[in-house]
Amino acid sequence: MRRRQLAILATLPLALAGCEALQQRLGLGGPEPVRVVFFTPDSATLDEPALSVVRNAADTARRTGESVRVLGFSGPAGTPQDQVTVAANRAQAVRAALVAAGVPDGRITVGARPAVPFEAAPVESRRVEIHLVP
């Protein structure tokens, strides 16, 4: 029994390495997690917790030299155009905060999406994702 446990434990690093390699090949995961900033309904204002997340992303981007992809989302209220406008305003607010925190504007790309129908919780729709891209 003990020998079987040791054999399983010995293969664990290989299995984990394989998962990491697969994630990288698929464009999933990587060294830096996606940072998420949440907003109140119909707002693009960054509160202190949101600014803390943005500053953390900016610190990492400045330190590593990585580019930053900012993707805004909106809740389900309004027309698809209204949703894209709110999402874009949120993404631009995060972009401005990243620039204010020292990330060169030329290293930041911004996108916006309307509400995603399969998202269960409206608060999760009201977000901006900050991706650090090597």
Cα–Cα distance between 37 and 131 in angstroms, integer? 12
- Count of positions (residues) in the chain: 134
Of the listed ranges 7-11, 51-55, 100-104, 122-126, the one predicted with least confidence: 7-11
Q: What pLDDT is stored for residue 30 in this prediction?
A: 52
- Name the more confident of 119 and 10: 119
Share of the chain above pLDDT 90, in %: 54
Q: What pLDDT is stored for residue 74 in this prediction?
A: 87
**Strand ranges, E, within the chain:** 35-38, 67-72, 108-112, 127-133
- Tell me the per-residue pLDDT of 59-74, one tens digit each, with 9 for 90 and over: 999 999 999 999 999 8
Q: Work out the number of other CB atoms within 10 angstroms of the CB of residue 21.
A: 10
Structure tokens at 100: 């204010």
- The residue type found at 62 is R
- Residue 3 main-chain phi, psi, to 5 deg: -65, -40
Element (H, E) at 69: strand 67-72
Per-residue pLDDT at 125 exceeds 90: no
Q: In what order do the strands lie in the sheet with 67-72?
A: 35-38, 127-133, 67-72, 108-112
Cα–Cα distance between 111 and 20 in angstroms, integer? 27
Query: pTM for this one?
Result: 0.73
Share of the chain above pLDDT 70, in %: 72
